[in-house]
């Protein structure tokens, strides 16, 4: 047992979607807690920036496109052949689109679900391969969204994909409990990332202020979400599986 329940020293964790935003902040916090990280994304330049922000040593980057979900299990095999078995995986990559249902096509549906859901399933499958997770088990954390629980006009596809993640984690948790692999989600509301800045540019000032007022504690910070992910990965979460931790500044309490 580590000296502190949040101590991740000696643990190898793959963070997918670590090029920026919440994924980058998760990687930074996990490194501060002692984890050895494999950070992944599509943009090598931005991943290298993330790598430079990590504490400690022994970290590396892996370039990958989660849209090619059928390749993920073999990709996990290749990672663990170098790094050894993983203690955990964080799926922080995601795609958000604003698209009215009357304009939605099957291609749009497949595109959103391939990134947000298909990849999550295949990451779990890859993690559970022989020699890909430690003998003690491990922890899988999916970054979902409060929009999987509440509605908002124009983001039906995104909401559906995030709701599906919560359902996935409940059943996977039961399936993988015998091998001591825990599966949980973190569901944030609006967090101060590049995505929120882009949304601010699209809205009128009064609209953006109204959105902020929907969060009793104000907009979140990426570190707020990172803390929840770290809690679930560390021994603090050793008796937690199949749940979605809501981190939304009170957004869903109204």
Query: What is the rounded distance in angstroms from the CA atom of residue 247 to the CA atom of residue 20?
Result: 19
Average pLDDT over residues 43-66: 94
Q: How many CB atoms lie within 10 A of CB 190?
A: 21
C-alpha closest to that of 163 among 175, 152, 178:
152
pLDDT tens-digit profile of 212-249? Answer: 898 999 989 999 999 999 999 999 999 999 999 999 99
The active-site residue out of 118, 133, 158, 251 is: 158
As assigned by CATH, the class of the 12-193+221-239 domain is alpha beta
Bin 133: left if φ > 0, else alpha if -120 < ψ < 50, else beta: beta
Active site residue 251: no
Q: How confident is the model at residue 164 (pLDDT cuts 50, 70, 90)?
A: very high
Q: How confident is the model at residue 2 (pLDDT cuts 50, 70, 90)?
A: low
What 8-state DSSP symbol labels residue 137? B
Average pLDDT over residues 47-51: 95
Comparing 200 with 10, the larger pLDDT belongs to: 10
Q: Which residues of 220-248 are buried (b: 16+ CB within 10 A; e: fewer)?
A: bebebbbbbbbbbbbeebeeebbbbbbbb
- For 143, residues 6+ apart whose C-beta sits below 8 A from its C-beta are 17, 22, 23, 90, 91, 92, 94, 185, 186, 188, 225, 229
pLDDT tens-digit profile of 119-142? Answer: 999 999 999 999 999 999 999 999
């Amino acid at each position: 047992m580590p000296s502190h329940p949040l101590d991740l020293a000696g643990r190898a964790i793959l963070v997918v979607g670590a090029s920026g935003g919440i994924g980058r902040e998760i990687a930074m916090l996990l490194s501060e807690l002692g984890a050895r990280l494999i950070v992944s994304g599509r943009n090598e330049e931005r991943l290298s920036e993330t790598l430079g922000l990590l504490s400690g040593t022994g970290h590396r980057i892996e370039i990958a496109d989660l849209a090619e979900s059928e390749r993920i299990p073999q990709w996990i095999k290749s990672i663990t052949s170098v790094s050894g078995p993983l203690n955990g995986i964080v799926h922080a990559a995601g795609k958000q689109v604003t698209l009215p249902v009357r304009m939605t096509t099957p291609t749009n549906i497949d595109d959103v679900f391939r990134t947000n859901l298909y990849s999550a399933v295949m990451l779990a499958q890859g993690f559970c391969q022989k020699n890909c997770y430690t003998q003690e088990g491990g922890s899988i954390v999916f970054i979902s969204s409060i929009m999987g629980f509440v509605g908002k006009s124009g983001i039906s596809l995104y909401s559906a994909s995030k709701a599906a993640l919560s359902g996935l984690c409940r059943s996977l948790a039961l399936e993988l409990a015998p091998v001591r692999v825990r599966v949980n989600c973190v569901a944030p509301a609006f967090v101060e990332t590049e995505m929120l800045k882009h949304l601010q540019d699209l809205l009128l000032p009064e609209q953006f202020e109204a959105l902020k007022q929907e969060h009793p504690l104000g907009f979140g910070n990426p570190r707020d979400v990172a803390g929840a992910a770290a809690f679930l990965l560390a021994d603090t979460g050793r008796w937690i599986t199949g749940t979605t931790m809501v981190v939304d500044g009170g957004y869903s309490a109204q």
